[in-house]
Amino acid sequence: MNVPETRAPRIIVIGGGFAGISFIKKLRREKVQVVLFDRHNYHTFQPLLYQVSTAGLEPDSIAYPLRKIFRKNHDFHFRMAEVLKIDTQNNTIHTTIGNLNFDYLVIATGTRTNFFGNDSIAQNSMPMKTVPQALNIRSLMLQNIEKADITANETERKRLLNFVIAGAGPTGVELAGALAEFRKGILEHDYPELEEEEMHVHLIEGQDRVLPPMSKEASKKAQKFLEKLGVQIHLNTLISDYDGKMVSTNDGKIFETATFIWAAGVSGALIPGIDGNALVERANRYRVNRFNKIEGFDTIYALGDIALMETEDYPKGHPQVAQPAIQQGKLLGKNFRRMLKNKKMQPFDYFEKGTMATVGRNKAVVDLGRLHFGGAIAWFLWMFVHLWFLVGFRNRVVTFFNWTYSYINYDRAARLIIRPFTKVKS
């Protein structure tokens, strides 16, 4: 592999998400060689993927080139490739572009969509973990509305305008709210032959409330907001099958739909080569100590969603959201600096900054310690926090402009179908 030889310690980082970039930023001036591997050449701000999929933002508003982030880093190298295997005996990784040795390895691969072994759902549903997947959902949604606008078949029109989302966590709730607002703000203006009431949004959740990770107060407020927007919520309901046309549930419900979005679960994005006590199979995560070192290894670390750190407050590991990943990445970077100076490393202690989710215009919920509130104040706080953590000044400005424009005009400007045109054979 074409990576310069070095006498400095070589640190390989797998994954350019929140954890990986937070870690590398802390090594900017250190005398180490950092090699970052990722399948994409950009960092994705995943909390706003749903806005790309519902035509609220263009993808370049939430994505930022990885090479540009680390321009000022000393001896930094990026390679766009997939890591296939870790050889722990020889301290080597095997990738789609060759092999590379390391002195230290940091795994920050995050999660992938979990279909719980249901092949039909995996094959026919629409996941939303990456920018291409979000764009695919956007194109499908708009294509189905276009088809509904011209079809004379009432049954087919109903199926095309029936949107079903599996999973009422933050992603599912935010998607449902955005789709409901799309119906309210766009449908009557762009598609005068379609009635607003013809478009239905269904949100299906296996537990007894929406937003299960948040407080009951936040769940109640979020459900009230969703119902006010016209979202139909189905709790204590598990999806058993989707064949591309029909969603079936465990309690006998049937939803005929051409748009089924799966937001019901994630699983750790493991890399072959590390197993034994280091691998927690029930969670698909690597067991790490308080310094994010993987159990049984001296030079291999894991960060963020892929790391399971068992503590008194979090016996099942920290929540798989952005803040633990960012905090772990920052601390590990600081600890590497201390380690290089032969100083003692500091154990990780998670600082809970609160959780939040948005439902729509002037509608959001926030859990901040013992405080639970919702509405316009929560919505503005949600916007401020997400703008603050976006990577890149340009992305912040463009996103703020888009949000301001949408707020004033009740519009979603990114309504472009970008799938390749397929000619119908006669």
Instruction: Please state the three-class secondary structure of 297-329 as a single string.
Output: CCCEEECHHHEEECCCCCCCCCCCCHHHHHHHH
Per-residue pLDDT at 207 exceeds 70: yes
pLDDT in the model for residue 74: 86
Residues 148 and 249 in one domain: yes
Q: Which of 28-37, 51-60, 169-178, 399-408 has the lowest mean pLDDT?
A: 399-408
pLDDT in the model for residue 425: 47
Residue 423 lies in a domain: no
Residue 411 lies in a domain: no
More confident residue, 157 or 281: 157
Residues 125 and 167 in one domain: yes
pLDDT in the model for residue 16: 96
Residues 143 and 167 in one domain: yes
Residues 153 and 207 in one domain: yes
Q: Which residues make Cβ contacts (< 8 Å) with residue 223, sequence separation at least 6?
A: 209, 210, 233
The secondary structure element, H or E, covering residue 127 is strand 126-127
- CATH assignment at residue 215: 3.50.50.100
Residues 241 and 223 in one domain: yes
Residue 378 lies in a domain: no
- CATH assignment at residue 103: 3.50.50.60
Of 293, 310, 340, the domain-final residue: 340
Q: How many CB atoms within 10 Å of residue 321?
A: 16
Mean pLDDT of all residues in 215-230: 96
pLDDT in the model for residue 185: 78
- What percent of the chain is modeled with pLDDT above 70? 98
Of 309, 340, 371, the domain-final residue: 340
Q: How many CB atoms within 10 Å of residue 232?
A: 15
Per-residue pLDDT at 409 exceeds 90: no
Mean pLDDT of all residues in 8-34: 96
Residues 331 and 293 in one domain: yes
What are the DSSP calls for 326-369, one per residue? HHHHHHHHHHHHHHHTTPPPPPP------EEEEEETTEEEEEET
Mean pLDDT of all residues in 246-254: 95
Residue 395 lies in a domain: no
For helices 170-182 and 216-229, the axis angle rounded to 10 degrees is 20
* Residue pair 337/25 in contact by the 8 Å Cβ criterion: no
Q: How far out from the chain centre does Cα 314 lie?
A: 22
pLDDT in the model for residue 262: 96
174 is catalytic: yes
Tell me how far apart the alpha carbons of residues 288 and 296 are, in angstroms, rounded to a whole number.
9
Residues 56 and 145 in one domain: no
Range of 138's domain?
Answer: 119-264
pLDDT in the model for residue 421: 56
Per-residue pLDDT at 424 exceeds 50: no
pLDDT in the model for residue 201: 97
Name 101's bridge partners: 92
Per-residue pLDDT at 216 exceeds 50: yes
Residue 364 lies in a domain: no
Domain total in the chain: 2
Residues 139 and 69 in one domain: no
Per-residue pLDDT at 422 exceeds 70: no
Residues 352-381 have pLDDT tens digits of 989 999 999 899 999 988 899 999 999 999
Four-point Cα dihedral 156, 161, 162, 167, nearest 10: 140
Residues 280 and 251 in one domain: no
pLDDT in the model for residue 275: 87
Q: Can you give 232-286 as a three-state secondary structure string?
A: EEECCCCEEEECCCEEEECCCCEEECCEEEECCCEEECCCCCCCHHHEECCCCEE
- Which residue, 131, 205, 191, is CA-closest to 161? 191
Per-residue pLDDT at 135 exceeds 70: yes
Confidence of residue 184 (pLDDT cuts 50, 70, 90): confident
pLDDT in the model for residue 364: 95
Residues 257 and 139 in one domain: yes
Residues 130 and 253 in one domain: yes
pLDDT in the model for residue 214: 94
Q: Which residues make Cβ contacts (< 8 Å) with residue 278, sequence separation at least 6?
A: 286, 287, 294, 295, 296, 297
Of 218, 237, 264, the domain-final residue: 264
Tell me how far apart the alpha carbons of residues 229 and 222 are, in angstroms, rounded to a whole number.
11
Q: Can you give 24-66 as a three-state secondary structure string?
A: HHCCCCCCCEEEEEECCCEEECHHHHHHHHCCCCCHHHCEEEH
Residue 401 lies in a domain: no
pLDDT in the model for residue 418: 86
Mean pLDDT of all residues in 327-339: 97
Residue 356 lies in a domain: no
More confident residue, 188 or 424: 188
- Which residue, 352, 343, 297, is CA-closest to 324? 352
Four-point Cα dihedral 328, 334, 336, 342, nearest 10: -140
Four-point Cα dihedral 227, 57, 113, 390, nearest 10: -110
Two structure tokens written together for 288: 């790490």
Tell me whether residue 313 is exposed, middle or buried, using C-beta atoms within 10 angstroms of its C-beta: 0 to 12, 13 to 18, 19 or more.
Answer: exposed
Confidence of residue 186 (pLDDT cuts 50, 70, 90): confident
Name the maximum alpha-carbon separation found in the chain: 74
Which amino acid is residue 307, in one-letter code?
A
pLDDT in the model for residue 2: 87
The secondary structure element, H or E, covering residue 408 is helix 393-409
* Residue pair 70/58 in contact by the 8 Å Cβ criterion: no
- What percent of the chain is modeled with pLDDT above 90? 83
Question: What is the average pLDDT score of the chain?
Answer: 93
Strands (E), 148-265: 162-166, 200-204, 232-234, 239-242, 246-249, 254-256, 259-262
Per-residue pLDDT at 426 exceeds 70: no
Residue 412 lies in a domain: no
Out of 30, 174, 181, 205, the active site residue is 174
Residues 245 and 271 in one domain: no
Q: Which of 14-23, 54-63, 67-76, 273-282 has the lowest mean pLDDT?
A: 273-282
pTM of the full predicted structure? 0.92
